[in-house]
Amino acid sequence: MQTTQTTLDTAQLPQVHEPRNDGMPLDLDWVSTVQANTSAIERRAASLPGRRNVKKDFQAAWLCKAVSLMDLTTLSGDDSVGRVRRLCAKARQPVSQHILDALGMDGLTAGAVCVYHDMVETAVDALQGTSIPVAAVSTGFPAGLSPFHLRIQEIRDSVAAGAQEIDIVISRRHVLTGNWQALYDEMAEMRAACGDAHVKAILATGELGTLRNVARASLICMMAGADFIKTSTGKEPVNATLPVTLTMIRAIRDYQDRTGIKVGYKPAGGISKAKDAIVYLSMIKDELGDRWLQPDLFRFGASSLLGDIERQLEHHVTGSYSAGWRHAIG
């Protein structure tokens, strides 16, 4: 499996990190010029699944890459210490050892573990001795409608508890009413509250109405200092889609062209099949380049995806599909 091994060796190189996005002054002239050709974006997105098809060793390598970019997440009302510890154990070794041995690789871990604030300390303790960061959802997740001073304090509390990444939710009403100054000010204050922790801005794109709104909200959040822009909370009726992804990553590309700063991207919600992960990765590679295929610039927010990837990898190794229950998430 030389092809697989070569690709995976590359995936396991020491991680590099881009400089933080310090943002820039709000440029409403730039924002006003941002448009989205919805029909063209949808045509381009619809063409991708048929154009990008990898098999055998190449497929196994891409799927292992997807695992390394995954934020394993538990955001349920019945979360417990035991569940979070099991999830962290899965993040440490996301793929069964016999599969890794057959692929000739080791050192594969998930990209991060994402939890509510109350479980940050548990996750940090369970991941000691690894480089896997803990991400905390914050700012009144998922609606983002709690009093603003409480949202800011929640960020500070999660950072103090050890969270290295903060997933914040924007106020959708600012986008829907075109109040870009309010969105910029909100995002900038949240970014400041994060301190050294990286901040992912969740746009909740399924509630923004149009792709033009998605593009403009993406740009505003980057101007205000977001290190990542993220599609969804996973709680909306419509979460990550290929047209939304294309819109957001082209905004990232435009922002880099203008400022020289690379901003990360995280599709979240609705990505549950291994073949879908490969389509997303191929889109990122085509539109942004290989540099974005590293965990400091790309993440999947899709824990259920891991089970299907592990089944596909076992099929690659053994020739047989296993039952889904054999690959529990945690």
Active site residues: 167, 230, 266
If one counts every other C-beta atom within 10 angstroms of the C-beta of residue 112, the result is 28
Spell out the residues 6+ positions from residue 21 whose beta carbon is closer than 8 angstroms to its own: 222, 225, 226, 227, 261, 263
Q: % helix / strand / coil in the chain, to the nearest 5? A: 55, 10, 35
- 56: nearest Cα among 11, 1, 95: 1
Segments in 210-262 forming alpha helices (H): 211-223, 242-259
Q: What is the DSSP string of 276-301?
A: HHHHHHHHHHHHT-GGGSSTTTB-BB
Three-state SS string over 41-88 comes to HHHHHHHHHHHCCCCHHHHHHHHHHHHHCEEEECCCCCCCHHHHHHHH
* Pair type for strands 228-230 and 198-202: parallel
How distant is the alpha carbon of residue 128 from its chain centre?
22
N-term to C-term CA, the chain? 29
Give the Cα separation of 305 and 303 in Å (integer).
Answer: 5
Side-chain half-sphere of 138: how many Cα atoms within 13 Å?
34
Q: How far apart, in whole angstroms, are the C-alpha atoms of residue 9 and residue 286?
A: 22
Residue the block writes with tokens 């993406």: 218
- Copy the structure tokens of residue 61: 């390598």
CB 101 within 8 A of CB 316: no
